[in-house]
Amino acid sequence: MGIEQKAGEMGVITTTLEQVVNWGRTNSMWPMLFGLACCAIEMMAAQASSYDMSRFGMELNRASPRQSDLMIVAGRVSRKMAPVVRHLYDQMPDPKWVIAMGDCASCGGVYNNYAILQGVDEVVPVDVYVAGCPPRPEGLIHGVITLHDKVRHEKLKTWG
Amino acid sequence: MDEHLQPVVDALQARFGVAVHEYAGEVSLTVKADQIVEVCQSLRDDHAFEMLIDETAVDYYPEMEPRFHVIYQVYSMSKNIILCLRVPVDGTNPHLPTIETVWAGANWYEREVFDMFGILYDGHSDMRRIVMPADWQGHPLRKDYPLGYEEVQFTFNYEDVQRRKPHPKE
Amino acid sequence: MSDIVAFRDVKVEELKHLLSPRALTGETMLLNMGPQHPSTHGVLRLLLELDGEIVVNCIPDIGFLHTGVEKNMESKLFQQAEVMVDRLDYLNPLGNNLTYCLAVEKLVGLDVPERAQTLRVLLSELTRINSHLVWIGTSGLDLAAMSVFLYAMREREMILDIFEMISGQRMMTTYIRPGGVWRDVPAEFEPAVREFIRIFPARLKEYESMLTNNALFLERTQGIGVISKEDCIRYSLTGPVLRGSGMAYDLRKARPYSGYEQYNFDVPTETAGDVYARYLVRVEEMRQSLRIVEQALDKMPTGPIRSNNRKFIPPPRSELGVSMEALIHHFKLWTEGYPAPKEGVYAATESPRGELGVYLEGDGGPKPYRVHLRTPSFISLQAMPLLTKGHFVADVVGIIGSIDIVLGDADR
């Protein structure tokens, strides 16, 4: 593992609470298994064989919001779906993060009309926006790594 | 016109007095609203049109009167011909008899037309909205219904839009 | 008794014409499945009335992905409106493009050169394989066969790489345009497709070895979700569902478009009409699609890839540098568009899910007056009550998978 060299004979490591908690949070971030539209297919591709997002500790997709930390809003959010998205977000336990995947979830994309919410940030607070229509799996993975970076630098006093 | 289609059109013309229009190889018949069930029944039983492919509506507001045209595409598998029916529907209190009894598949098409255009179907078994939320106001595909365009946020109007935009609580 | 709530804010009283009388007394249980459910393939909500574990009634509720595409297209030029159709049925983007382009071409009377036709056929068949691969993966996943998903996504990447090579985009290519295709394919295209043709049959055998004779899979699929040929026709169901019930109806044979009459392929049918029959039909369809791809690649003619009708098609880029008129014409076509007659046309293609139709009406201007999309998922979902009645809740998942719905397609 490598850790025993660092810990030495005593089996003790010294670190800050902030660091160890943030390390734990980033490396087992479980996304909610929840797809809306086209982007969900690319999200599936990101988790499948060629791109394999589990390399970043995200292999476990939870179908229940109660067991997930990360909500990937993959696709356009219609006015009928918006209350449901908010409801799902409210059901997730803290700490929780949101990635708006794709143009539609970020800003409405090509659909500027009565039916589509102009960005999911109107109903849930978004941490990372991923551009693209749909974003490539690499794009999503980059978004996830950006989020990890953000979480790793969170401060003790801002923990929710 | 297709050799199989000609006798069908002739028979319908003789019996119901429908108007025939042809464009790009497609034949459409204009049928009166109160005759539509009979016409469909006759198409299915006498002329082997087994399948209703499509049913939709067009809103000609404000240019044309009557305002709506309901459009049916019916298909005969055995003869491999497709026929289009047009039914003009008046704009004030629009309603039309349902053809659900002829082709069961018309159920959802008619619910969609009701949802999008507000045309009520008499005798329909389940006249609820289908795609829009149940409490939605208005019928989106009518021409007098706005598209609902929202101003797009760019660098030059960022602050302006940001102030107006709804922001959720954590 | 009247305080039983069916959907959010919808009292069970309002749905009593769809439920059995036992639901009103609370004797049967109402269960909401979706819209966030891993096996509904998107945002579908089903209200199930259950007697123990048996489904008594099923009421689908759609519209959670309603995008307002039809309304939005009315405000765009004919060329611009095309990007909207890609994102409808997001597993069949090229097929959607093709259907829309066929409608536009029919409306304005535009010809398509031979090479473009062949490319269209080739690409829409690759899209069909792509769509069926996602289907086999996800419906395997629903029935607890995880590995098929990982295998199928591997081959799907090969197809997406081909799409990316020709258009620059993996999924939403908008490669097929009215009057032809966007631009010619690069030199690497042919070897890439040949490689796919070489590899794919063996891979297809792999999937089959995981599912076709798998006892668990057979148990979950045979005799489940049976629908008769007559019911299919009554409910306007087309595509693999109809073919799985024993009717050899395929638009590519019945009303050929884009020169499908020149290709040799079979229309696979099964008679059982259950989930397993639909599975067999789709697997065989992939094999037939591969045959078409190979034939198209072999006969690929040379020549222009776009119509030369300058009324609708902008002049090629090589002319823009030397001819002022060509430049003005190019500018005007892209900013003002071209007028279409005040007529309505209906064009349809065989999408992986069934008959995909576009009803397009012009009003003499450069924008569509009305676009209606006849989408196969919408129609297939209508038969859900029929398909699920009398089965276990667990089988509902398999049935949804077998009709292969895409919610973007159903809700538009």
- Check CB contact under 8 Å for B131 and C374: no
Count of domains for chain C: 1
* CATH number for position C120: 1.10.645.10
Q: Would you say residue C6 has pLDDT above 70?
A: no
* pLDDT tens, position by position, B75-122: 988 888 899 999 998 888 888 899 888 888 889 999 999 999 989 998
- A-facing residues of B in 118-157 (CB < 8 A) are 131-133, 140, 145-150, 152-153
Q: Is A116 within the bounds of a domain? A: yes
- Is C176 within the bounds of a domain? yes
Please check whether residue A159 lies inside any domain of the structure. no
Q: pLDDT for C67-86, tens place per residue? A: 888 888 988 899 888 888 88
Residue range of the domain that includes A52: 27-152
Give dist(CA A81, CA C43) in Å, integer. Answer: 8
CB contact under 8 A, C359 and B140: no
Q: A80 and A39 in contact (C-beta within 8 Å)?
A: no
pLDDT value of position C199: 92
Residues A44 and B48: their CA atoms lie apart, in Å, by: 45
Give percent of chain C above pLDDT 70: 97
Query: Into how many domains does chain A fold?
Result: 1
> Residue A29: pLDDT above 60?
yes
pTM over the 0.80 mark:
yes
Is there a domain that residue C271 lies in? Answer: yes
Residue B133: give the domain boundaries. 5-144
Handedness of CA A12, A16, A21, A22 (dihedral sign): negative
pLDDT, tens digit (0-9, with 9 covering 90-100), for C347-383: 999 999 889 999 999 888 899 999 999 999 898 888 8
Q: Give phi and psi for B143, each to the nearest 5.
A: -70, -20
A78 lies within 8 A of chain C by CB:
yes
Distance CA C400, CA C261 (A): 32
d(CA C90, CA C67): 13
Give all strands (DSSP E) within C225-311, no chain letters: none
Token pair 């006892």 is found at: C215
Nearest chain B alpha carbon to A116: B148
In a domain, B152, yes or no: no
Give φ, ψ of C359 to 5 degrees: -100, 120
Query: Model ipTM?
Result: 0.89
Q: Which residue has the tokens 């980059």?
A: A142
The answer to whether position A133 is within a domain reads: yes
Q: What is the CATH number of the domain that holds A81?
A: 3.40.50.12280
Q: pLDDT tens-digit profile of C161-181?
A: 999 999 888 888 889 998 888
Residue C237, class by beta-carbon neighbours within 10 Å (0-12 exposed, 13-18 middle, 19+ buried)?
buried
The Cα–Cα gap between A33 and A152 comes to 23
- Total number of domains in chain B: 1
Say if C5 falls within a structural domain: no
DSSP per position, B38-102: HHHHHHHHHH---EEEEEEEEE-TTTSSS-EEEEEEEEETTTTEEEEEEEEE-SSS-EEE--TTT
Q: Do A115 and B150 touch (CB under 8 A)?
A: no
Residue in chain B nearest C370 by alpha carbon: B58
Looking at residue C7, what is its pLDDT? 60
Asked whether residue C244 is assigned to any structural domain, the reply reads yes
C192: domain range?
Answer: 69-308+339-411
Cβ contacts of C42 on chain B, cutoff 8 Å: none
In a domain, residue B153? The reply is: no
Each residue of A135-154: pLDDT tens digit? 988 998 899 889 988 888 88
* Residue A16 falls inside a structural domain: no
Site of tokens 């619910």? B111
How many C-alpha atoms does C297 have within 13 Å on its Cβ side? Answer: 23
Report yes or no on B96 lying in a domain. Answer: yes
Q: Give residue for tokens 């538009």.
A: C412
